[in-house]
Amino acid sequence: MADEETLLLSGSEEKLLNKERRRKIQLSEWKDNKNKALRNAGKPYRNRKGTFVPGKCASEKECDKISKDMKTKLFQDFYRQTYNEQSMYLVQRCMALEDVKRRNVAEDVSRRQPTFKYQLPVNGKSYNVCKKTVLNVFKISSRRVQTLQTKMKVNLDI
């Protein structure tokens, strides 16, 4: 799961790195790699300064459409995935890119940007929610969503 996301090497690459070394390289045992895996899994960890950073927990904030139990389930399912799987989950299930409906000027001159719609999948249904709700349910930053949106706009591989 989240621990698998640390730097992975093929057998030949690992042999090449460990060739003629007394101590073998164990990337999964490095502090930074352990902390990154813990951080991406939403679990508590110690940062580089040694400060304890508490883990993330499900949102307590209210939303009319989604119950607290559903938020907790979504949160737990989200953090069972690796970081890349989380990003794909957000892009495929929680965010939808909607083109500009009306333009008053030509497309190449227009400064209008596409709109993003947000939804949360609950029991096979998708409920339209605001961006703030998505951020609160998954305890992610606005910057992470903004980066994904930029990649969606230019159709980059996420």
Owning domain of residue 22: 2-53
Same domain, 22 and 79: no
In a domain, 59, yes or no: no
Whole-angstrom Cα distance, residue 110 to residue 92?
A: 28
Task: Name the one residue in this structure whose structure tokens are 């459409």.
Answer: 65
Q: What's residue 15's pLDDT?
A: 73
HEC sequence for 76-119:
HHHHCCCHHHHHHHHHHHHEEEECCCCCCCCCCCCCCCCEEEEE
Asked if residue 25 belongs to a domain, the reply is yes
Same domain, 80 and 126: yes
C-alpha angle 145-158-100 in degrees, rounded to nearest 5: 60
- Report residue 1's pLDDT band, with 50, 70 and 90 as the boundaries: very low
Same domain, 40 and 113: no
Instruction: Flag whether 62 is in a domain.
Output: no
Comparing CA positions, the residue from 157, 5, 158 lying closest to residue 80 is 5
- CB-based burial of residue 107 (10 Å sphere; 0-12 exposed, 13-18 middle, 19+ buried)? exposed
In this structure, the answer to whether residues 47 and 78 fall within a common structural domain is no
Residue 61 lies in a domain: no
Q: Are residues 141 and 75 in the same domain?
A: yes
Q: Are the CB atoms for 143 and 152 separated by under 8 Å?
A: no
Domain count, the chain: 2
With a cut of 70, say whether residue 5 has pLDDT above it.
no
| Domain contains 60 | no
Q: Are residues 89 and 132 in the same domain?
A: yes
Kindly state whether residue 158 falls inside one of the protein's structural domains.
no
The pTM is what? 0.72
Quick one: 49 and 102 in the same domain? no
| pLDDT for 139 | 92
- Can you name the residues that pair with 45 across neighbouring β-strands? 53
Give the mean model confidence (pLDDT) for residues 129-152. Answer: 93
Q: What is the predicted pLDDT for the residue at 100?
A: 83
**Residue 58 falls within a domain, yes or no?**
no
- List, for residues 41-85, the tens digit of each pLDDT value: 889 999 999 999 998 888 777 777 888 888 889 999 999 999 999
- Whether pLDDT at 128 is above 50: yes
User: Is 6's pLDDT higher than 60?
Assistant: no
**pLDDT computed for residue 135 by the predictor:** 93
Could you tell me if 46 and 91 lie in one domain? no
* Residue 23 pLDDT: 76
63 inside domain? no
